[in-house]
């Protein structure tokens, strides 16, 4: 007990020098000191490192890491959350960490910065992981990657963050919109400025908030095998909250559920995973049985197979892509869905296509003429940031301008092999005008033998998602889907 002086011990207790007479320090448990982090944290660290160091795509790097790991389903889900969550909130994490550091985060070793972000994500966003575990695992990860000297820094920064993060207030929207989008809503500064130009402050913040939410899983019923209502009843046995999509006729929204790759109905080819906005591009193309259709940027093939399902095995679809590995994914999907009439070809569609042969067409002429063509162009992907959170850190400000040239080349090459009266659909998964409306306007100015179909001439089911001019626009904050743009053009002579 404490005496009147506040010192611990009775009056007869021998006074000692500082430290002497106290219980001997507990010997350092060597096993604990050298213990490894959980495989979940270590895999998440490695995947994030690959994304940061070599600009790897997060979904591919994560799939590669998980496919070779012995992790259970629960731990796989946690690894996925840690990777995607850290990437999704990196801007806010960096702001909070910067309040704890005496130096710029960017001056730290990139792997060390990654470990700090991963630890900070668990502290700020996970209500399942105790703060002590988040800090301890970050220290262990630091040691596991061979940076033992930095364990003290990691421990000190994250322990302080665990105590103080709730007192830190990021810049407010009404006071500094750009800083709010960057530090509170985790957008790169150049994207923040573009969003403000397009949507204004409130709209930009709403867009950013929507992009920071994990997307629900949406699937497309394979209408050659099953109708949507029957599939919905089947899926509701394991996903009771499943419901019909709001916009696309074959869509079913499943919510946030686990790995569909193990679902028997998926393995049997009864459905494909595809966002509802992406499905609407197929509605814009409106493929008909017996037609000959070209998809110039086909892989990995969600739209190509969607087109094939509409063809009922009559006519043919030719899917081009310049990436042979990605075409193999498409071919696997065709087999799983048991579709016929879909052909693939490794080809760069920015180059002339006039030597193509239309599969299944007996009267192939010197110049191919397709009935319908889909140009689902490579783009900056700002509409799918929910699904690809790494894209916001990989895409640079100059990329949309560079991609615009590729997109225009794809349109020109496709137009050359479309029959008179044929349909050409141009689509992207971005919201930037220079990749969308501006591309269509530029093409029409230079190709007066084409016109854009207005809303009144498009399928009735698209009425709620196209403007009067006939342009399809969906956004995460307004429609709950990925951000998509599409326009349907017709060759008039």
Which residue among the candidates 141, 211, 297, 429 is catalytic per the annotation?
A: 429
Task: Compute how many other C-beta atoms are within 10 angstroms of the C-beta atom of residue 441.
Answer: 13
Q: Does the annotation mark 211 as catalytic?
A: no
Let me know: does 407 contact 377? Beta carbons within 8 Å.
Answer: yes
Residues with a catalytic annotation lie at 429
């Amino acid at each position: 007990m404490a005496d009147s002086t506040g010192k611990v011990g009775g009056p007869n207790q021998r006074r000692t020098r500082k430290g002497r007479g106290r219980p001997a320090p507990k010997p350092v448990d060597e096993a604990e000191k050298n213990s490894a982090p959980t495989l979940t944290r270590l895999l998440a660290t490695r995947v994030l490192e690959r994304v940061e160091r070599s600009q790897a795509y997060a979904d591919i790097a994560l799939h590669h890491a998980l496919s070779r790991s012995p992790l259970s389903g629960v731990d796989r889900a946690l690894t996925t959350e840690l990777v995607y969550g850290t990437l999704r909130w990196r801007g806010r994490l960096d702001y909070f960490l910067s309040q704890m550091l005496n130096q710029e985060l960017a001056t730290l070793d990139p792997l060390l910065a990654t470990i700090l972000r991963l630890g900070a994500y668990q502290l700020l966003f996970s209500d399942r992981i105790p703060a002590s575990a988040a800090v301890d695992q970050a220290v262990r990860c630091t040691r596991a990657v061979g940076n033992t000297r930095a364990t003290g820094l990691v421990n000190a920064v994250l322990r302080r963050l665990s105590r103080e993060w709730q007192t830190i207030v990021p810049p407010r929207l009404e006071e500094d919109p750009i800083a709010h989008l960057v530090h509170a809503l985790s957008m790169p500064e150049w994207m923040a400025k573009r969003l403000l130009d397009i949507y204004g402050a409130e709209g930009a913040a709403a867009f950013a908030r929507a992009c920071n939410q994990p997307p629900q899983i949406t699937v497309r019923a394979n209408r050659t095998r099953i109708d949507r209502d029957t599939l919905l009843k089947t899926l509701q046995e394991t996903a009771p909250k499943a419901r019909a999509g709001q916009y696309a006729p074959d869509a079913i929204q499943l919510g946030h559920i686990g790995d569909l790759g193990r679902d028997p109905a998926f393995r049997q080819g009864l459905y494909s995973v595809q966002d509802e906005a992406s499905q609407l591009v197929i509605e814009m193309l409106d493929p008909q049985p017996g037609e000959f259709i070209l998809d110039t940027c086909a892989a990995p093939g969600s739209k190509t197979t969607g087109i094939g399902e509409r063809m009922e095995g009559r006519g043919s679809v030719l899917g081009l892509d310049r990436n042979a590995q990605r075409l193999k994914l498409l071919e696997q999907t065709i087999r799983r869905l048991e579709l016929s009439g879909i052909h693939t070809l490794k080809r760069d569609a920015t180059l002339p296509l006039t030597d193509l042969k239309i599969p299944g067409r007996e009267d192939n002429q010197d110049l191919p003429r397709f009935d319908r063509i889909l140009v689902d162009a490579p783009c900056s992907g700002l509409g799918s940031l929910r699904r690809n959170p790494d894209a916001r850190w990989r895409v640079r400000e100059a990329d949309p301008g560079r991609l615009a040239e590729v997109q225009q080349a794809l349109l020109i090459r496709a137009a050359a092999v479309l029959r008179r009266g044929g349909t050409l659909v141009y689509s992207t998964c971005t919201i930037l005008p220079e990749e969308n409306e501006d591309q269509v306007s530029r093409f029409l100015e230079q190709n007066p033998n084409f016109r854009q179909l207005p809303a009144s001439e498009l399928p009735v089911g698209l009425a709620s998602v196209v403007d009067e001019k006939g342009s399809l626009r969906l956004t995460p904050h307004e429609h709950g889907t990925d951000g998509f743009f599409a326009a349907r053009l017709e060759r008039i002579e």
